[in-house]
Structure 1
Amino acid sequence: MTDISRQFYDELLADLEHNRLVLPTLPEVALKVREVVDDPDSSISDLVKIIVSDPALSARLIQVANSPLMRTGRQIESVDAAVSRLGMRIVRDLATSMVMQQMFQATSDVTDQRLRQLWEHSTEVAAICHALAGQFTKLNPEQALLAGLVHDIGAMPILTKAEDYPELLQNEEALDWVISELHPRIGGAILRSWNFPEELIAAAEQHENMTYDSPAADFVDVVIVANLQSYLGSGHHLAEQDLSQVPAFAKLGLSPDVNVIDMDGTGDAIRETQQLLSI
């Protein structure tokens, strides 16, 4: 730890605790979609009206609805058909996931590469989460996908604020330490401000807690395993973790030495899902 990283850490923590930290906002169309779906008096037509107002989201939703990922059967050619076939809650989580990419835009060239790397990692973890939830749990795969996509969301305001600390941006190890220490807590604060469900907030806050052990497999377990899988063979500190001591693997019925990307059928599904998220 350097003096500059400690100073930056202390300032971030104080801003967070006193509600001064500028948190990213969810794109308006995603907010509207979530509000409509969570309103018990709303209808499919209410949701369709919001989605069709965004041509890019409409096109991507139809594309995803027709992908092997959704296994919807016959060809879907309209937003109305996609929502009717998939259901409002699945569409809510898919729509939120699809508009997330626009949030990962740097305000300077300095942080552009870091945000690109963050988005690429988030889409990989999301894709692995989708596959794990669908094959090894009874959890909703689309909600697991969203949990994976937002698990590192807390790093965004850290990178934004780091633009005011040129010395810190030039010291990747020092910046990584601050991100590792604070992004779970900041991520939880962001998702609370977006009114996300507690199970997704927990995934953001607990995904680096290798001793996490709830009574039954949940989204935290899925994100923990997916995150560790994404770091296999890398220089990340989580790649050095003794996976036999991580309860999440056993709760998903997986061996600690598993590589889900190499499992029959799973690797292709993961790559396809990641590609769909990155369009």
Structure 2
Amino acid sequence: MDRLEIFRNIASQAGRGELVFPANVSASIKLQKALADPDCHLELAAKLVMAEPLVSARTVAIANSAAYNRSGGEINNVRAAVMRLGFRTLNTITTSVIVRQLGRTINNPGMRIKSAQLWEHCAHVAATAYVLTAKLTKADPETAMFAGIVHEVGGFYLLSRTDDFPGLLDGGTEDWMEYGEKMIGRAVLKKLGVPQPVVDAIESLWHGVRVLPPQTIGDVLLLAKELSPVPSPLQRSVVAEAGVGGENLVDDYIGDHSLRELLDDSEEQIRSLTAALLV
């Protein structure tokens, strides 16, 4: 079976819902479902999170980030972090751990590097989308951050399958964008129970054209992706494709202020939230 045929088979299996997840990812998906149960109360949520070290560390880090710690009071325990963040943000954090775990199961050193870069890219996009949504639109920043975290989840799944199919990405990223991005992405989003508004925003990102000022979460995602200092290793640069340099983009104006001014004013929020997601 040649590489393209393997690619098409993986995409076809994903389209049928036949996804292969490592054991640690399956355990985190169970945690995600438990936290989503309407009967899950604060104390139980804190206990469930404390049982998962990765989720615990990220929950406390995000609760202490500039985006969420507006009072300046530092939190050092999971229960207080859960109280500050709430269940919606907790669901986002759990999903981020699931996405990251897909990359950490990879044995191939080159693919592990790609996975690490992809996660760094997603963290930047998620943090930037959170801040830009709050400042520029009437949409929900929490939804935007969640969309930023999962917008490349299909790519993480593909990278996790490269141990089973060595050489799968030897032909570059064009095959992924042609055969796999949308089909695999949609299947993994469905498996993770991603809400339809988030899926719609990601679909908009796949087909979108930059809109300034952004109106929807899809618009914000595209802008945040262009602004990310770390590109996705699975995609051609959307900035390069548009023939626009990053410096030119940040000099564009939104109302009376340049995008550069807005980003400068939000630098600490974006930096601290990105760092918390990378814990």
Would the aligned equivalents of 2:62 and 2:277 in 1 still touch at CA under 8 Å? no
Whether 1:122 aligns to 2:119 is: no
Give the secondary structure class of the aligned counterpart of 1:69. Answer: coil
Structure 1 residue 197, shift from structure 2 partner: 0.7
CA 1:81/1:237 → structure 2, altered by over 3 Å: closer, same or farther? closer
Amino acid at match of 2:175: V
Would the aligned equivalents of 1:61 and 1:94 in 2 still touch at CA under 8 Å? yes
CA 1:109/1:98 → structure 2, altered by over 3 Å: closer, same or farther? closer
Would the aligned equivalents of 2:122 and 2:151 in 1 still touch at CA under 8 Å? yes
Unaligned runs of 5+ in 2: none
Structure 1 residue 211, shift from structure 2 partner: 4.7
Would the aligned equivalents of 2:120 and 2:230 in 1 still touch at CA under 8 Å? no
Aligned mate of 1:180, from 156, 177, 180: 177
Task: Name the counterpart of 2:5.
Answer: 7
Would the aligned equivalents of 2:63 and 2:75 in 1 still touch at CA under 8 Å? yes
Q: CA RMSD in A?
A: 3.5
Identify which range, 20-29 or 123-132, moves more after superposition. 20-29
Amino acid at match of 2:83: S
Would the aligned equivalents of 2:15 and 2:187 in 1 still touch at CA under 8 Å? no
Whether 1:87 aligns to 2:81 is: no
Unaligned runs of 5+ in 1: none
Structure 1 residue 237, shift from structure 2 partner: 4.4
Give the secondary structure class of the aligned counterpart of 1:47. Answer: helix
Amino acid at match of 1:198: Q
Task: Name the counterpart of 2:49.
Answer: 51
Give the secondary structure class of the aligned counterpart of 2:62. Answer: helix
Give the secondary structure class of the aligned counterpart of 1:154. Answer: helix
Give the secondary structure class of the aligned counterpart of 1:264. Answer: helix
For residues 118 and 261 of structure 1, the distance between their equivalents in structure 2, rounded to whole angstroms, comes to: 27
For residues 121 and 46 of structure 1, the distance between their equivalents in structure 2, rounded to whole angstroms, comes to: 33
Aligned mate of 2:201, from 203, 207, 214: 203
Structure 1 residue 137, shift from structure 2 partner: 2.2
CA 1:61/1:236 → structure 2, altered by over 3 Å: closer, same or farther? same
For residues 47 and 53 of structure 1, the distance between their equivalents in structure 2, rounded to whole angstroms, comes to: 10
Amino acid at match of 2:133: A
Structure 1 residue 185, shift from structure 2 partner: 2.5
CA 1:61/1:52 → structure 2, altered by over 3 Å: closer, same or farther? same
For residues 54 and 232 of structure 1, the distance between their equivalents in structure 2, rounded to whole angstroms, comes to: 28
Count the aligned residue pairs.
Answer: 262
Identify which range, 217-226 or 21-30, moves more after superposition. 21-30
Would the aligned equivalents of 1:261 and 1:267 in 2 still touch at CA under 8 Å? no
Would the aligned equivalents of 1:153 and 1:183 in 2 still touch at CA under 8 Å? no
Give the secondary structure class of the aligned counterpart of 1:143. Answer: helix
Compute the TM-score of the two structures, normalised by the length of structure 1: 0.76
CA 1:208/1:228 → structure 2, altered by over 3 Å: closer, same or farther? farther
Structure 1 residue 5, shift from structure 2 partner: 5.6
> Which fold has the larger relative contact order, with Cα–Cα distance below 8 Å and residues 6 or more apart in sequence?
2
For residues 271 and 140 of structure 2, the distance between their equivalents in structure 1, rounded to whole angstroms, comes to: 19
Give the secondary structure class of the aligned counterpart of 2:207. Answer: coil
Structure 1 residue 99, shift from structure 2 partner: 5.4
Compute the TM-score of the two structures, normalised by the length of structure 2: 0.76
Task: Name the counterpart of 1:228.
Answer: 226
For residues 187 and 261 of structure 1, the distance between their equivalents in structure 2, rounded to whole angstroms, comes to: 34
For residues 268 and 42 of structure 2, the distance between their equivalents in structure 1, rounded to whole angstroms, comes to: 32
